[in-house]
Amino acid sequence: MERKVHNIDATGKVAGRLASQVAKILMGKHNVDYVANQESGDIVEITNISAIKFTGNKLNDKLYYRHSQYPGNLKTTRLKDMMSKDPAKAFIQVLHNMLPKNRLRPRMLKRLIIK
């Protein structure tokens, strides 16, 4: 199976809408022969990810949590800090939650190229 390469410029696009568009391409839902349990998506290249927009007050209000499983070790990170440190990682976090929660998700994320 040949995979097409989709080039997307993220300049000025809203993060959630872009992530849902990319998720559809990675899953292969745009193809006529889509099957949910097979990997039939294409490759996506995204450029200018640092120029992505967030609507509302999400940059200041949205928090991401992680826990080390030790008592009292819940860490929080603001979206604003994630975007200033590594915007590609912040977008992958948004996209990760939009993909299906099964064994195909890591394979789908491997076909995402952020430049």
pLDDT in tens, 51-92: 999 999 999 999 999 999 999 999 999 999 999 999 999 999
Q: Is residue 1 very low, low, confident or very high in pLDDT (cuts 50, 70, 90)? A: confident
The CATH label, of 3.40.1410.10, 3.30.9.10, 3.90.1180.10, 3.40.50.300, for the domain at 5-55+86-114 is 3.90.1180.10
- Mean of pLDDT values over 26-41: 93
Supply the pLDDT for residue 95: 96
Q: How high does pLDDT run on average in the chain? A: 95
- What letter would DSSP give residue 92? H
The answer for 69, left when phi > 0, alpha when psi is -120 to 50, beta otherwise, is: left
Torsion sign across C-alpha atoms 36, 31, 4, 114: negative
Q: For the segment 42-56, what is each residue's pLDDT rounded down to a tens digit?
A: 999 999 999 999 999
Q: 71: which 2 tokens?
A: 């008592």
- Predicted confidence (pLDDT) at residue 111 exceeds the cutoff of 80: yes
